[in-house]
Structure formats: structure tokens, C-alpha cells
Chain A
Amino acid sequence: MALLNFGTQWAIRLEKDFNLKSLLVGDERLTLRDLEASEDQKLISLSLAGNQKAFEILLRRYQKLVYNVIFQMVQNHEAAADLTQETFLKTYKGLATFRGNAAFKPWLLKIASNTTLNYIRDSRGKAASSLEEMLEENPHAEPSSKERLEEQVELHICQANLAEAIASLPVRQRQIFVLRYQHDLPYADIANITDETESSIKSLLFRIREKLRKMLVEKETLHS
């Protein structure tokens, strides 16, 4: 048993040495540190050439973002973990179809978004409607000029209140809100991920914010 253990450890070292020595890209020899600092594009090329370490670095670079975006959409850790795994598996299998000149992050997030929306559709048996339709379903989303008194309340939003308010939004509104304000994604990338236009994303973001503001103001007024 001890012999087998020793042999296994030795083989791990041998394999690691082999992996480090085999990171020869063109005329360039890369160490693990170089690889970690590499751009997405290079890591994708290496992954396509069969280098698993390169894909692992891509995974570690984006897994937190993907997990948190998915979590905000499903509001459940177990489902978020499964969907994150599914997203990266699809990403890996689809790497060959990835256009080299495009950005990897929005492409990955689009896979995450579609995977999650499919999951929600299947589990609820309800198709996710368009963002515009969802706002129409919620007439309170429109900015109103009435009831101004409540607006004079200074908001002391605690993170828990905001998280709760976000959780009550329809899934796609939650998604674009989180992508923009929690992960600071450009409007163009959000439009690409959600298949909307940039101008509709800007307009929707304001309307969602206004909806949240009203929810929070109401809560604050009730509490005070």
C-alpha cells in the first residue's frame, strides 16, 4: 500500500513536470505563471489543442462571475452550482465554434444565460417573456409623477433590502440589472447576451431602477 502511495505521488510529480514542460506554444515556452497571466484568446487556443491546464485557468477566471450571475437568476445555490457546471461543459464543447475575434466573457455569459433560462422554462413550464412584456405586466415600473411625498425620504438601503427587492424582480430584469450594476458589464455586452438592442437595455435599466426605488422607498416609509 505504501509502495503504491509512493508510486502514485511520484507519478503525480512526473505528470506535473510533463505538463509544465509541454507548455510550448509556437516558439514560446510558458510556465504556469505565464499561463495564468495569458489573455483569454491564448488560453482558448491552448484548450483547443488539448491543454487542460489552460481551460482550468479560464474556468477559475470566470467561475465566480458565472456562478453569481446564475445565482441571481435562480436564487438557489444548488441549482446555481449545477447550471455553472453545465455552462462550462457547454463552453468547453463549443470552444471550437467560438469566433476568435470576439470577446470571451459575453460569449460565456450568453451560454450561462441561455442555459439558465432553459432551466427556468423547463422547471416552471413557463416561457420567459420579453423584457418589454414583463415591464408591461408590471405597470408600477413606469416612472410616475404622483405621490411625491414618499420620494423625499432619504433612502438608507441596506444590502439585504436591496437583495430582497432584486429577488422579487422577473428573472430577465434581474439578469440585466445584475450584469450592469453588480458586474459592470458594458451596455453592448448586455445587449448581446440578452438579444436586445443597446438603447432598449439603457431604457429598461432605468425603468427597473425606478421600480426598485419605489419598492425600497415604500418599505422605508413603512418602516419609519
Chain B
Amino acid sequence: MDQNPINVMIDTGWKTMETQEEKFDCDSFRDYYARRESGHSISENENMRSSEHVETCISCSAFAKQHETIIETMASLPQFDVSEKLTQSILQSVYLSQPKKADLLLPIGAAAGVVFFALLPFDSIQGWLSWGVGLIGLCGLQVLLKSAERTESIS
């Protein structure tokens, strides 16, 4: 009798493989299926033997079919649509979180305006009035643009 441990190991290994070769039952199929689905590598021989088994075994063929049915049904599950109200609410919160360039520009513009007016010579009251009308017009335009932004983000 061969007492070399390596030869004994090879011998035992062969015997295990031979046993597997002979017997591919339901447990072997479930084990094969779990390993295959979990991404383990499967030998060509095992693929062949499992196909043979599942063709003749009602229980294992039902088992595999049930797994497939779950995947198919899952893919067909309806999904919820997002309401326009939620979309607008998200956009609003994103918009509000952003520091606006206009907010920074406004005080700078106002300061520049004050300096400009302070340096203007007092030629006539009409000149002052025409500058004033222009300024009011610009403020009006700003108000309308702000109001448009609000209306659009709410609608």
C-alpha cells in the first residue's frame, strides 16, 4: 500500500471526483446552481451533468423556474412617477442653495451709482429728473425679472 501522503491525497481526490461523477443528485444540482448564480467558475462537465439532471428532475426544474420567475416579475414591477410638484420643489431648493451673482452685484452697482450721482454737476433739474426716470425704469425691469423667475419656478 502506498503510504506517500501526496499519493494518498491524489488517490483520495480521484475517489471524490469519481463519486461526484457517479452521483449528480438534487443536492448536487442545488449546490451547482448556487455556485453558478454566485459567480463561481463552473466546469463544462458540471454544466452538462446539471442540464441532464434538470431535464429529468421535476423538483430541480421547478426550483430553477421559480428563480427565473422572481427575476422576470421583479423586472416587470411598476415604478412610481415623480410628480411635477416634487421636481419643482427640488429645483427651487437647488436654486435657493446657490449664491447668486446678482446678489453680489447689486450692492456694488448701487455704490457705483451713488458715487456717479455725487460727482454729477447740478446743471439743471430736468437733467436730474431724466436720470431719475432711467433709474426707476431699471428698477422696474429688475422687479419684473424677479417676478418672472418666481412664476416660472412655481408653475
Report which A residues bind B (CB closer than 8 A).
Answer: 4, 7-12, 14-15, 50, 52, 55-56, 59-60, 63-64, 67-68, 71, 77, 81, 84-85, 88-89, 92-93, 143, 145, 148, 151-155, 157, 159, 162-163, 166, 177-178, 181-182, 184, 187, 198-199, 202-203, 205-206, 209-210, 212-213, 216-217
Number of inter-chain CB pairs below 8 Å: 143
Query: Given that A7-B144, A71-B80, A217-B66 are contacting pairs, would A181 and B71 also be in contact in the complex, using a CB cutoff of 8 Å?
Result: yes
B127: interface (CB < 8 Å): no
Return 24 A-B CB contacts under 8 Å, by A number.
A4-B144, A4-B147, A8-B144, A9-B148, A14-B145, A15-B149, A15-B152, A55-B91, A67-B82, A68-B80, A85-B90, A88-B94, A92-B94, A93-B97, A143-B30, A145-B26, A148-B59, A157-B70, A162-B73, A178-B74, A182-B75, A205-B37, A209-B70, A216-B66
Contacts of A145 in B (CB 8 A): 26-27, 30
B151: interface (CB < 8 Å): yes
Contact of A84 among B38, B90, B95 (CB under 8 A): B90
B39: interface (CB < 8 Å): yes
Q: When the two chains form their complex, are residues B73 and A159 in contact, meaning their CB atoms are under 8 A apart?
A: yes
Per DSSP, chain B at the interface is helix
Q: When the two chains form their complex, are residues A182 and B74 in contact, meaning their CB atoms are under 8 A apart?
A: yes
Interface residues of B in 125-155 (CB under 8 A from A): 141, 144-145, 147-149, 151-152
B63: interface (CB < 8 Å): yes
Contact of B82 among A84, A153, A209 (CB under 8 A): A84
B118: interface (CB < 8 Å): no
Contacts of A187 in B (CB 8 A): 39
Contacts of B38 in A (CB 8 A): 199, 202-203, 206
Q: When the two chains form their complex, are residues B145 and A63 in contact, meaning their CB atoms are under 8 A apart?
A: no
B10: interface (CB < 8 Å): no
Contact of A151 among B27, B62, B145 (CB under 8 A): B62
Q: When the two chains form their complex, are residues B62 and A8 in contact, meaning their CB atoms are under 8 A apart?
A: no
Interface bits B86-107 vs A (CB < 8 Å: 1, else 0): 1101110111011001000000
Query: Given that A11-B145, A151-B62, A155-B65 are contacting pairs, would A64 and B82 also be in contact in the complex, using a CB cutoff of 8 Å?
Result: yes
